[in-house]
Every structure is written in structure tokens, then in C-alpha cells.
Amino acid sequence: MSLLFKGRAQGAESVKIGMFQLIIMFFTDHLRQAVNSLGELWRSPFASLMTIGVLGFSITLPSTLYVLVKNTEQISQQWEQASEISLFLREGVTDASAQQLLTRLRLWPEIAEVAFISADEGLKEFQALSGLGDALNYLETNPLPAVVLVVPTSKHASPTSAGILLNKLRKEREVEIGKLDIEWLERLYALIGIAKDLVTLLAVLLFFAVVLIIGNTIRLNILSKRDEIVVMKLVGATDAFIQRPFLYTGFWYGLLGGIMAWITVFIILLWIDYSMQDFMEKYQVNFNLTSMDLSTLIFMLLVSVSLGITGSLLSVQRHVKDIEPR
């Protein structure tokens, strides 16, 4: 509606069109502007590629690290399955009562396997492995306790739940000491935690840089179209109308940068996987690097697009307003 002239219809209202057609028009208009903005990028391929490259590489770095951290986590999860609890039984517990304990433990839902090493067996094993040999025969009594080895089910194998299980086992009256060798796992976890924090920090810093770079690129775009913007304002364009193509430019920078990051991450991971195969073969470990899954990819593209739009939005809100016909 016209503000000054009552009854003077402005814009689409002046022609009778239905709601449906209005919606269709809205989308076709946006699509047209989106394609126009893409065409604009195409017309200056070198400058566009540089901006897209900055965005792509900035996203590549945290994404690659993220995938590597994820893989490390997976490996450590495999190791963790092997965690074992050793229960040293009290002196004076007979083999018969130890067997009773074993039968009881086999019924626990958290426990997958139990094995019993009697004091004598323990001594024999020690003798064989330690190299002390006959020297041990001079001992008057066997100083070694009987040991029960408990393997928790995979569900209860993580450091925390295995810890809980250990505490429960310690309360059994035959048990003197319970030991769970997971300290190194806990350390590994802590290290992965730190690595994750570093990846996040790096990502946040790079994302800030990307927003600023996109913002500056769009600012230069706006300034180079100064005359056009002045003309559009003179014939009654709102700021929102003028801003839209620049926002679409930001969107395309984000999407294309994201796709570029995806391809780069893919190549880097192939390369790392290849060099790791060699390494793994020497250690006779079979391990395949898992690449980015679909949800991670979509998340990465979303982040990339929103960075592009955010940078563009910051710039556009400031600079389109500043350009006024004089």
C-alpha cells in the first residue's frame, strides 16, 4: 500500500493474483536471485575461488582432526573390550571356597568370563616366567595368593562401569585386593579429551576468521556496486531487497566452500589411510580408517553455509544501510 496516496495500490496488489500464485512467485523470485548470485560468482572465477578456498581449507582442518579423533576413540574402544579385573584372594581361602566364589560370579550379569589361578599354579607360572627358577623352591610357603581373573561383558567394559564392577567385587569376602588395569586407558581418554578441546578451539578460531573474511569480501562486493545500489534506492528498493543477492552470495560461498572441504578431507583421509596401512602391517593390526559419515558431512555443510551467511549478514546490515543517494 502507498503511504502517501490512499487507494493507490503498490506492487503485486495492483494486479489480482491468488495466494498460491504469490507463494509460487516468492519462490521463483528467490530462486532467480540465487541463480543470479551464482552467475555473479561465475563471472569472476578467480576471486570467487580464492574466497571459496579460504573457507574450504579453514573447514578442512578441524574436520580432518575431528575425523582422526573419532577414529582414535574407536580404536581405544576396541582395546577397552579386553580389560580384565584381577581379584587376589585372601590367605586361607581354600580352593573349594574359591570354586564357590567362581560359581557365584558366573551368575553375575556384568561378567562374561571367570578364570581361576590357584596359588600353586601362580607359583609355577611365576617360576617359569621370572627366571628365578629353583631359587623359589627355598621358600617355606607359597607367598602368592590365588587369583580370579574376571572379564566383564562388553557393556560393562568401559573404565567407569568396570570401576563400579570392581568395587562390587571387592566386597566379596574371599577377595583381598581387586585390581583393574585401566589407568592407561583413563590417561588415553584424558588425552583424547584434550585433543577434542583443541579441535573445538581451533574450529572456533578458524570459523571466526572465516566469518570476517566472508564479511570483508561481501563488503568489497557492496562497495563495487555502490552506483547500482544508489539507483535502486532512488527507485524505491528497500534495504532487504538490496541485501538479498549479497546474502545469496554468502550462501554460495558457504556451500561451495563446504563441498571443497569435503573433497579435501576425503583426499587427506585416503592418503593417511594409505600410509597407515603400511604401519599397521608391521604391527600386524588390521585397521581401516573410517571416513566421514553422512550426518557429519551434512553437519559440516550446514556449518559452512551458516558461516557464509553470517559473514554476509554482518557486512550487508552495516554497509547497505550506509549507502544513500546524495
- Regarding 3 and contact with other proteins (CB under 8 A), the answer is yes
Nearer to other proteins, 2 or 288 (CB): 2
* Sign of the Cα pseudo-torsion (7, 8, 12, 15, in order): positive
The helix (run of H) or strand (run of E) holding residue 87 is strand 85-89
Interface pick for other proteins out of 40, 84, 172, 239 (rule CB under 8 A): 239
Are 75 and 287 in contact by the 8 Å Cβ rule? The answer is yes
Tell me the CB-side half-sphere exposure of residue 304, using CA atoms within 13 A.
30
Interface pick for other proteins out of 176, 228, 293, 322 (rule CB under 8 A): 228
Query: Binders of other proteins: how many residues, by CB under 8 A?
Result: 30
- Regarding 231 and contact with other proteins (CB under 8 A), the answer is yes
- Regarding 288 and contact with other proteins (CB under 8 A), the answer is no
Minimum CB distance to other proteins, residue 251 (Å): 21
Are 63 and 207 in contact by the 8 Å Cβ rule? The answer is no
The region of 8-16, 60-68, 210-218, 309-317 touching other proteins under the rule CB under 8 A is: 8-16
Interface pick for other proteins out of 77, 99, 100, 238 (rule CB under 8 A): 238
DSSP 102-158: HHHHHT-TTEEEEEEE-HHHHHHHHHHHHS-GGGGGG-SS--PPPEEEEEE-GGG-S
Minimum CB distance to other proteins, residue 25 (Å): 7
Nearer to other proteins, 156 or 244 (CB): 244
Minimum CB distance to other proteins, residue 311 (Å): 24
Taking the C-alpha atoms of residue 126 and residue 269, their distance in angstroms, rounded to an integer, is 46
SS3 string, 240-295, reads HHHHHHHHHHHHHHHHHHHHHHHHHHHHHHHHHHHHHHHHHHHHCCCCCCCCCCHH
Taking the C-alpha atoms of residue 156 and residue 75, their distance in angstroms, rounded to an integer, is 17
- Regarding 133 and contact with other proteins (CB under 8 A), the answer is no
Interface pick for other proteins out of 128, 191, 234, 285 (rule CB under 8 A): 234
Minimum CB distance to other proteins, residue 17 (Å): 7
Taking the C-alpha atoms of residue 86 and residue 147, their distance in angstroms, rounded to an integer, is 7
Minimum CB distance to other proteins, residue 195 (Å): 49
Taking the C-alpha atoms of residue 208 and residue 202, their distance in angstroms, rounded to an integer, is 10
The interface mask with other proteins, positions 23-42, x = CB under 8 A, is --x---x-------------
Minimum CB distance to other proteins, residue 219 (Å): 21
The region of 3-11, 70-78, 158-166, 295-303 touching other proteins under the rule CB under 8 A is: 3-11
Minimum CB distance to other proteins, residue 223 (Å): 16
- Regarding 224 and contact with other proteins (CB under 8 A), the answer is no
Interface pick for other proteins out of 96, 107, 236, 282 (rule CB under 8 A): 236
Taking the C-alpha atoms of residue 256 and residue 301, their distance in angstroms, rounded to an integer, is 9
- Regarding 237 and contact with other proteins (CB under 8 A), the answer is yes
- Regarding 12 and contact with other proteins (CB under 8 A), the answer is yes
Lookup: cell for 170:
571387592
- Regarding 302 and contact with other proteins (CB under 8 A), the answer is no
DSSP 21-73: HHHHHHHHHHHHHHHHHHHHHHHSHHHHHHHHHHHHHHHHHHHHHHHHHHHHH
Query: Which residues in this chain contact other proteins in the complex, by CB under 8 A?
Result: 2-5, 8, 10-12, 14-15, 17, 21, 25, 29, 227-228, 230-239, 241, 324-326
